[in-house]
Amino acid sequence: MEKLWSGRTNGNNAKLADEFNRSITVDSRMAWQDIEGSMAHAAMLGARGIIPQKSAEHILEGLQGILSDLAAGNLAIDPLAEDIHSFVELELTRRIGDDGKKLHTARSRNDQVALDVRLTLRAETDETLALVRALMQSMVTVAQNYADAVMPGYTHVQRAQPVTFGHWMLAYAFMLERDAARLENAKALMNVCPLGAAALAGTTYPVDREATAKALGFAGITKNSLDSVSDRDFCIELAAALSILMMHLSRLSEEIVLFSSWEFGFIELSDEFTTGSSIMPQKKNSDMAELVRGKTGRVYGDLTALLTLMKGLPLAYNKDLQEDKEAVFDAVDTAKICLRVLASMLGAMKVHREKMLRAAAEGFLNATDCADYLVKKDMSFRTAYQIVGRLVKRCIAQGQTLDTLPLAEYKAFSGLFEADVYEAVDLTNCVKARTSPGGTSPESVQEQIRYLTGYLGHD
């Protein structure tokens, strides 16, 4: 295939070199953005008189035809093309003749690819943000349904204090709120237009960079032409935001795996999001959650690849930068499918209230509340803590819980205990009493739900 850059060399690479150099399989996904950027560039060239207005109109007509044919499936991207930029320009020239060769005036593939990647990732970030919010909505719905369902809260993977399932679910929703903020910030930082930087030094043509930036919906233009073509911070920032997002999804997935196991039994995943065993007929495996957990490492790898790619590059453009797209596109694609799966999986999940409540009772999660009961009768907290610790030890020895231990046993440890201690250690009451902002009481959970509902734009 003809090379746009043949001249200084004859363009006749070895077949192996062509295959090694080719990026069309990765950058073909930027076809729409490449054509959009070329149309803005051609319109600017005509408006500034850099090329004849009729030539600019001819180019725009040809590019629109290519775009329409790609959308309709009437044009296939040539897998032997060097890259998407070459494919579009050569196809344009094939269609409209010499006017097509004027499109690249005042432009390099260096600022062209920088533009295409920014346009592509801007759109991908918007899609990812929508998926983050959709998962948050699923979480809010679950939290609403189980705002009063008592379950054990854990520290050190040991039962600690009672919380509600709704409160637990919202902890992840607030993680996602921060993820959305990071994605918004990554989008804002990438939303400047490099077109007009040309190869590295700018151009001698009287280009209107602000006009092309405005036409493409950018907030402004890049300020330094060297930086414009060599900057991939925006790829790294997006991959970093996605890595933190995936870390949160992985933590959620880990708890889903645990909570859906026989040992916990707090939740049951739908058959639609589980698999069986090829040899053990009783198995119901949480493979989708496990895959999300596993794919997190893949996104971390994409981030590491980008950081390593950039760490030693001199200014300005280097061919190494061709490797940026595969990593960042993979990070985006992986995060998006994980978000979709989790949103649907949570929506189909069953929650077993009684099993969670029983686990909370057996784990002495009301021990702190029992100590607080004594503190409210003017005992020091440290003394109360020690007494309740011995009470728990007695309960374990006798196969009792704080809810079932006879009052006489309580009184053997402190005369301050009265019959109202059972009301104080009732798990439902323990949860209801935690009304501090952000706490686990149903009242506090509802306030968190109201906040997130407003954030998500609902009435």
State the catalytic residues: 156, 277
DSSP at 160: E
Of 187, 190, 192, 148, residue with least CA distance to 169: 148
Give dist(CA 92, CA 56) in Å, integer.
Answer: 12
Radius of gyration (C-alpha) of the chain in whole angstroms: 30
**Between the CA atoms of 326, 331, 333 and 335, what dihedral angle is there, to the nearest 10 degrees?**
180
Which residues have C-beta within 8 Å of that of residue 257, sequence separation ≥ 6?
Answer: 286, 289, 290, 293
Quick one: how far is CA 136 from the chain centroid? 11
Pair type for strands 220-221 and 192-193: parallel
> φ and ψ at 383, to 5 degrees?
-65, -45
Give dist(CA 332, CA 242) in Å, integer.
Answer: 7
- Compute CA distances 312 → 15, 318, 320, 323, 327, whole Å: 29, 11, 10, 14, 17
> φ and ψ at 269, to 5 degrees?
-80, 150
Burial readout 434-459 (b: 16 or more C-beta within 10 A, e: otherwise): beeeebbbbebbeebbeebeeeeeee
Give dist(CA 391, CA 407) in Å, integer.
Answer: 12
Give dist(CA 214, CA 47) in Å, integer.
Answer: 14
Tokens of 38: 């070329």
DSSP string of 4-73? TTTTSS-----HHHHHHH--HHHHGGGHHHHHHHHHHHHHHHHHTTSS-HHHHHHHHHHHHHHHHHHHHT
Place of tokens 């004859």: 10
Tokens of 323: 């490797």
